[in-house]
Amino acid sequence: MTRPVPPPTLSLVLPTYNERANLPPVIARLIRCLEATGASFEIVVVDDDSPDRTWELAEALGAEDPRIRVVRRRGERGLATAVVAGWRHARGRVLGVMDADLQYRPESLPAMLRALDDPGVDIAIGSRYAPGATVQEWSARRWAISLCARLLARVALPEALGAVLDPGAGYFLMRRRVIEGIELQPQGFKILIEVLARGRYAGVVEVGQQYEGRREGESKLRGRQITEYLSQLLDLSRATHELRRSVAYAVAGGSGVAAHLGLLAALTEGLHWPILAAGALAAEVAIIITFAWREILGTGYAGAPPGGAMSRLAHWHRRRVPGGVLGLATLWILAEWLGVPYLRGAVVAVTVNVLVNYGGGARLRQPRPVRALAPLPSVAPSSMPMN
Ligand code: GDD
Ligand code: MN
């Protein structure tokens, strides 16, 4: 019988599918640098019954070292669900995951753990896009996919992910309480997004990583993961009510733009108002209409002052005036000086107006803050036995 072991500080999940060549060195390097920190740990390998029998190899390693535990899933596939399955078996106060293919350097783990020494930090992300991070050997295609994925994440979940540089990271640590009692619904490849959208946390830091090319085995990322990603974003956007807020903002903004253009056309065309007067009135009405929609839909806006509707309206105005004035100037220059037909000019002017509104700091949504850390010094891997 084995003696009961106290729960370790860290439980790191290694998801594997056909990683026979990578598993022994990744585990050896992890153990080496974790032992140097003095922290207690367990490594939970979750293998989906790999055809190359990675699970068998993992079990052999686990037989030698009780800190290595193995979950062999049969009849089930999927990176995100595998990671959650691993956390279910994990006993550590800190839960984490790292791709098992050596694209992340195991030696960066102590620095990631240290980031959680700060009691204000609940999640530390191993980031490929934080300052100082490097990404090796990526095709232009892979870059483009990654960029689109990050942009989509921001659009779908502007509050949860708006400030996260690498929401798709396959490497992060978090305090157990972030997901304790929370029902994650993992799908696809992106487990971090699930945690950031549904988890309970305050501080997040991103720690820059040196992300390397794969030397052994191959990526399991396929077209299917892209559709899974889209459906995951939509589900999370709904579940967190961010979708509802986005629609409300679109209704408010869209009706403002429609009122702006419609009124401008009616005043100039129908009533033969001078273009500046028509433009000014149309801009003013648009400001009030978007404000009214927001009050009705209860969305408010980031940075709204405390107090009643009148003080909010005054504040809203102050923020919208620069955009309105620049839009009006654009309209005047285009229509009066350059002879552009006024409706075409008005479309450009309204675009300028909207861009200034949202570019000029008047953010609709306040993203949850994230701190980015440059890569921290890590243990040298040079004398690794199995590298
Ligand atoms: N158990 C299990 N089941 N593990 C899996 C599965 C699966 O179905 N699919 C992949 N893995 C394991 C791999 O063996 C590897 O250890 C890790 O998950 C990452 O998979 P890769 O196949 O190497 O994916 P990638 O490098 O193309 O993309 C991954 O890394 C990126 C950066 O971290 C994904 O996690 C991306 O979402 C991520 O952006
Ligand atoms: Mn990989």
Residue boundaries of the structural domains of the chain: 10-241, 243-359
What integer is the mean pLDDT of 290-310? Answer: 82
Residue 105 has pLDDT above 90, yes or no: yes
**Is the CB–ligand 1 distance for residue 137 below 6 Å?**
no
Closest CA to 112 of 16, 13, 205, 11: 205
Cα–Cα dist 31/95, whole Å: 16
Cα–Cα dist 301/354, whole Å: 15
Residue 288 has pLDDT above 50, yes or no: yes
Residue 1 has pLDDT above 80, yes or no: no
Q: What is the Å distance from ligand 2's center to 62 Cα?
A: 23
Residues in contact with 49: Cβ distance below 8 Å, sequence separation at least 6, in sequence order: 55, 72, 73, 74, 75
DSSP 255-290: HHHHHHHHHHHIIIIIT---HHHHHHHHHHHHHHHH
Highest mean predicted confidence (pLDDT) among 187-196, 307-316, 352-361, 378-387: 187-196
User: What are the phi and psi torsion angles at 245 (to 5°)?
Assistant: -65, -40
Locus of tokens 């959208």: 197
Which residues line ion ligand 2, judged by CB < 5 Å? 99, 101, 103
Domain 10-241 has CATH 3.90.550.10: yes
Q: Predicted confidence band at 374 (pLDDT cuts at 50, 70, 90)?
A: low
**Is the CB–ligand 1 distance for residue 169 below 6 Å?**
yes
Per-residue model confidence as pLDDT tens digits over 335-371: 889 989 888 898 999 999 888 887 654 456 778 888 8
**Is the CB–ligand 1 distance for residue 170 below 6 Å?**
yes
Share of the chain above pLDDT 70, in %: 93
Q: What is each CA distance from 340 to 77, 268, 327, 329, in whole angstroms?
A: 59, 14, 15, 14
**Is the CB–ligand 1 distance for residue 100 below 6 Å?**
yes
Q: What are the structure tokens assigned to 301, written together?
A: 């806006």
Mean pLDDT, rounded, of the chain:
90
Highest mean predicted confidence (pLDDT) among 5-9, 36-40, 272-276, 306-310: 36-40
